[in-house]
Amino acid sequence: STQWIKAIARDEVPEDDVIAVHAGGREIALYGVEGEVYATANLCTHGNARLCDGFLEGHEIECPLHQGRFDVRDGRALCSPLRENLATYPVRIEDGVVFVAL
Ligand code: FES
């Protein structure tokens, strides 16, 4: 069953940028894009790199290691060398707190 885990205060999520948090024993990347918050796994599906160290442009996060790009809305791998999509997590905002469903 879905568990909503408290991740971070809403105002700590940077606009047009990414921040990593630990929630429910996992490492999650949170993105602020156009006033919305999106959550994905923080580890790239291609190798040992953290997306929180990458570069966010619009809805696309670029991995810092080989420049693979994912869409943060659905985790879709957008280019090589990526082969696997990224896990995404539903986000809910309540009383100024970001919750993710794990
Ligand atoms: Fe992310 Fe290679 S580790 S693209």
Look up residue 95 and give its two tokens.
């009383």
pLDDT for residue 1: 74
Whole-model pTM: value is: 0.96
Whether the pLDDT of residue 79 is over 80: the answer is yes
Is there an atom of ligand 1 within 6 Å of 66 CB?
yes
ipTM above 0.85, yes or no: yes
pLDDT digits (tens, 9 = 90+) for 26-64: 999 999 999 999 999 999 999 999 999 999 999 999 999
- Residue 48 CA, closest ligand 1 atom number: 3
- Residue 49 CA, closest ligand 1 atom number: 3
Residue with the smallest CA separation from ligand 1 atom 3 is 47
Question: Pocket of ligand 1, candidates 40, 66, 69, 83: which has the most ligand atoms within 8 Å of its Cβ, to mutate?
Answer: 66
Residue 25 neighbours by CB under 8 Å, 6+ apart: none
